[in-house]
Chains A and B, each alone.
Chain A
Amino acid sequence: EDQVTQSPEALRLQEGESSSLNCSYTVSGLRGLFWYRQDPGKGPEFLFTLYSAGEEKEKERLKATLTKKESFLHITAPKPEDSATYLCAVQAGQAGTALIFGKGTTLSVSS
């Protein structure tokens, strides 16, 4: 069965304290791995798509990496405005299939 597991469930950081969020997956035929940011009461906001092992993408303080079994979202020198829930999802199998989501990591950054 296709599965996505995110860890930790919650992470509390001080402003400027870098860390990483983990997304491990077991799927057959990975088409893409997606990272989203979700603020309370809002829809997920797209961050990155990764398609193959070794791929990396960056946006401001965020960097996403992908291996054959997991993805990391590295947060460098976070600020309070980075506080949110970060969702990982994979698409597997045929084109047009829906995403399989992990439960998310809730990040809190205090000043």
Chain B
Amino acid sequence: DGGITQSPKYLFRKEGQNVTLSCEQNLNHDAMYWYRQDPGQGLRLIYYSQIVNDFQKGDIAEGYSVSREKKESFPLTVTSAQKNPTAFYLCASSIRGQQETQYFGPGTRLLVL
């Protein structure tokens, strides 16, 4: 069954702690993306990667880091430098080419203790 999985569904972060959100896809998609969703706001891009071992900052990359060591995986780390991390985090993937529809995972809700 092809798709995008994100884990965990809920994540709690303590002050000063780094946490990592997992995103895996088995769709053989080249590109992967991380978005942040806050109430009343549109999805905002954090980072994206078009190929393995390469990624670009999005509009709100400060306080976040990513890696892309495998085509199927694109983990997002929320560092202690991110002062307002409470949000719904969404991972997406797409093929590259003429038609680049992005498909989304189920999301991870991050809460601060």
Contacts and interface: CB of A to CB of B under 8 A. Distances in A.
Given A96-B31, A98-B45, A103 B101 contact: no
Interface residues of A, number: 25
Interface stretch (B12-20, B36-44, B64-72, B77-85): B36-44
A29 interface: no
Contacts of A49: 99, 101
B40 A103 contact: yes
Given A34-B101, A34-B102, A95-B97, A101 B107 contact: no
Interface string B83-113: 0000010100000111111111111010000
Nearest to B30: A96
Interface stretch (A39-47, A58-66, A69-77): A39-47
Interface string A1-18: 000100000000000000
For chain B, which range describes its interface: under 10, 10 to 19, 20 to 34, or 35 or more residues? 20 to 34
A10 B6 CA distance: 29
B82 to A, nearest CB: 19
Contacts of B104: 36, 43-46
Nearest to B4: A43
A103 B96 CA distance: 26
A103 to B, nearest CB: 5
Given A43-B106, A101-B35, A101-B44, 18 more contacts: A31-B100, A32-B100, A34-B102, A41-B88, A41-B109, A43-B90, A43-B104, A46-B101, A49-B99, A95-B96, A95-B97, A96-B48, A96-B50, A96-B96, A98-B33, A98-B35, A98-B58, A103-B40
12 contacts: A34-B102, A41-B109, A43-B4, A44-B90, A45-B104, A87-B42, A91-B100, A95-B96, A96-B50, A96-B96, A96-B100, A103-B41
